[in-house]
Amino acid sequence: MQAETKDLLIRIAWRSFYVLTALVVAAIIYGLSILNYGVIFKYFGKVLGGAVITLELVTIAVILGFFVALPTALMRLSPNPLLRYPAHTFIYFFRGTPLLIQMFFVYYGFAQTDIVRETFLWPIFKQAYWCALFTFVLNTGAYSAEILRGAIQAVPAGEIEAARAFGMSKWTAYRRVILPRAFRIAMPAYGNEIIFMLKGTALASTITLLDLTGVARTVIARTFTSIDVFLVAGLIYVAITYCFLWGWSRIEKRVNAYLSQQP
Amino acid sequence: METVLPYAGLFATGTAITLLVTLAVLPIGICLGLLGAAAKLSGDPVAMAYANFYTTVVRGLPEFLVILIFFMGGQHAVNAIVDMVGYDDFVDFNPFAAGTLALAFMFGAYATEIFRGAILAIPKGQAEAARAFGMSGWLTFRRITLPQVWRLALPGLGNLTLVLMKDSALLSMIGLNEIIRVAGIGAQTTKNTTLFYFVGALLFLLLTFIVTAIQKRLEIKANRGIAQARG
């Protein structure tokens, strides 16, 4: 980096961040002193129960979302416009609108229409849980499809040509060469998408689900505390995120081991 | 169409509020991002620890939770302060202020990483050249580094702005009359939920389209002095 810029950055950082230090430390000490520990301890088990629902939602959404994403990505790459445009529209809609409105659309709108109410779909869509999950699957499916599309396009052309030179059919080449390579390329972006999904599940609490955020909101409403339980919930979210990131980076290293410099 | 038309004015104000929140967050968020990047690159351990803590926490916290914390915590704090002054009534904390601060707080963390990458991407020799011209540190930053940071950070900032606009939808949950809340009001009175939320979604798509177009123009403008590879 440039020496001049660096000097300047150091000066800015010194001035602003030491003032901030004093403020932050004071705020933390004051904040910790007014927290309602009775409520926190009493409801901690309940909050952890909410974390289980959150994890359940993310896991199912990401797994099912993958099975939405892969065909969508392949359709998006297809030369046939009849396949390409629907996939494009699906991705554009779900990436261009907020998750919240998608969920309201499904829960308050779609699930209440006659098409759903009078068919076999009703027992499923009358529950907020399945409405939320349905939305999450489509949402993460759209985002992941775009990630997979990028990854498939990033597979080096030489490897695809090599597969063809071996006489592999298109399907065999996809199965043995292109997709395995694309998944490895997509790993970091896919990890990010899973974290965004984890954070997105907090919205399930807006349609009455008792996930981590939902439980925290209920406890706060019941005990008339301010944000004590939210802070605990936040801590759990951050903990889940970093446990996941740690595990994910290990998997990433393992599947990409052939790319690493060390023997 | 006849069902939605009477609500056109309401939808217009909702869209205006969504845009207003986005525009209010951007300057605060960009400043936070520049400060965070300055801290991360300063080499000063305390400042770096701060900036790392900041970006780490924001990355793991759900947007909705952060907004709730800012809104309810802010309300609590405002009332505590007002109590101290001796005013006993309950004071409502403005959801616009709480939401803007919460969104800026999160925008700043992601912008930190973007600015950090952009500053690191500027070749060293340019600052040396500026120094040879006798420019001071601040002048170098203002004339040489900052304009290029802008160019390099634009694509990332554009994406963040799109994310920010979608996150602003969450402010409907703390009572701000933006697009989703307006759609909800219309849906409740007319019982045509699907239609109203669909219109709300279309408005967001329209905003996305506009922001993307602006981003493209800004990028062309920022890159006008750069040689592009032509195929």
Phi, psi dihedrals of residue B89, rounded to the nearest 5°: -70, 160
Q: Search chain A and give the residue with CA nearest B169.
A: A98
Written as six digits, the tokens of A102 are 């998608």
CB contacts, 8 Å: B47 with chain A: 13-14, 17
CB contact (8 A) between residue B60 and residue A220: no
Written as six digits, the tokens of A4 are 């001049």
- What is the number of H-type helices and E-type strands within chain B? 9, 0
Note the pLDDT of residue A68.
96
Q: Search chain A and give the residue with CA nearest B121.
A: A1
CA distance A66 to B164: 25
CA distance B231 to B228: 10
Percent of chain B at pLDDT exceeding 90: 53
Residue B30, pLDDT above cutoff 90:
yes
Percent of chain A at pLDDT exceeding 70: 96
CA distance A54 to A42: 20
Query: What mean pLDDT is reported for chain A?
Result: 89
The residues, ordered by sequence, that sit 6+ positions from A21 with a Cβ below 8 Å of its Cβ are B46, B50
Residue A136, pLDDT above cutoff 90:
yes
Half-sphere exposure for B134 (CA within 13 Å, toward CB): 0
For A26-30, A108-112, A123-127, A153-157, which range has the lowest pLDDT when averaged over its residues? A26-30
What digits encode the pLDDT tens for the residues B144-190? 888 889 889 999 999 999 999 999 999 999 989 999 999 999 988 88
- Enter the DSSP assignment of B15: H
Rounded alpha-carbon distances, angstroms, from residue B42 to A72, B129, B143, B204 = 44, 21, 20, 39
CB contact (8 A) between residue B64 and residue A226: no
Q: What is the separation of C-alpha A96 from the centre of its chain, rounded to a whole number of angstroms?
A: 16
Note the pLDDT of residue B1.
64
Q: How far apart are the CA of A235 and the nearest CA of chain B, in angstroms? A: 8
Q: Which residue among A17, A93, A203 sits closest to B205, beta carbon to beta carbon?
A: A93
What digits encode the pLDDT tens for the residues A200-230? 999 999 998 999 999 999 998 888 887 888 9
Residue ranges and CATH numbers for the domains of chain B are 22-176 (1.10.3720.10)
Note the pLDDT of residue A36.
78
Polymer length in residues for chain B: 231
What digits encode the pLDDT tens for the residues A26-71? 877 777 777 778 888 888 899 999 999 999 999 999 999 999 999 9
The residues, ordered by sequence, that sit 6+ positions from A250 with a Cβ below 8 Å of its Cβ are none
CB contact (8 A) between residue A98 and residue B167: yes
Percent of chain A at pLDDT exceeding 90: 65
Note the pLDDT of residue A263.
54
Phi, psi dihedrals of residue A167, rounded to the nearest 5°: 85, 20
Half-sphere exposure for A97 (CA within 13 Å, toward CB): 27
**Per-residue burial over A118-132, b = 16 or more CB atoms within 10 Å of its CB, e = otherwise:** eeeeeeebeebbbbb
CB atoms within 10 A of CB A38: 11
Query: In which band, very low, low, confident or very high, does the pLDDT at A17 lie, cut at 50, 70 and 90?
Result: low
CB contact (8 A) between residue B194 and residue A112: yes
What digits encode the pLDDT tens for the residues A68-94? 999 999 999 999 999 999 999 999 999
CB atoms within 10 A of CB B113: 18
Q: Inter-axis angle of helices B45-60 and A3-34, to 10 degrees?
A: 60
Q: How far apart are the CA of A129 and the nearest CA of chain B, in angstroms? A: 18
**A13 closest CA partner among B50, B141, B113, B144:** B50
- DSSP line for A244-261: HHHHHHHHHHHHTGGG-S
Query: What mean pLDDT is reported for chain B?
Result: 89
CA distance A204 to A226: 21
Q: How far apart are the CA of A172 and the nearest CA of chain B, in angstroms? A: 32
Query: In which band, very low, low, confident or very high, does the pLDDT at B84 lie, cut at 50, 70 and 90?
Result: confident
Q: Inter-axis angle of helices B95-120 and B8-41, to 10 degrees?
A: 40
CB contact (8 A) between residue A8 and residue B138: yes
Query: In which band, very low, low, confident or very high, does the pLDDT at B229 lie, cut at 50, 70 and 90?
Result: low
The residues, ordered by sequence, that sit 6+ positions from B28 with a Cβ below 8 Å of its Cβ are B100, B101, B104, B107, B108
Q: How far apart are the CA of A168 and the nearest CA of chain B, in angstroms? A: 31
Answer whether A214's CB lies under 8 Å from B65's CB: no
What digits encode the pLDDT tens for the residues A160-215? 999 999 999 999 999 999 999 999 999 999 999 999 999 999 999 999 899 999 99
Work out the end-to-end distance of chain B between its first and last CA atoms, rounded to an integer number of angstroms.
47
Work out the end-to-end distance of chain A between its first and last CA atoms, rounded to an integer number of angstroms.
31
Where does residue B43 fall: left (phi above 0), alpha (psi -120 to 50 degrees), or beta otherwise? Answer: left
Residue B106, pLDDT above cutoff 90:
yes
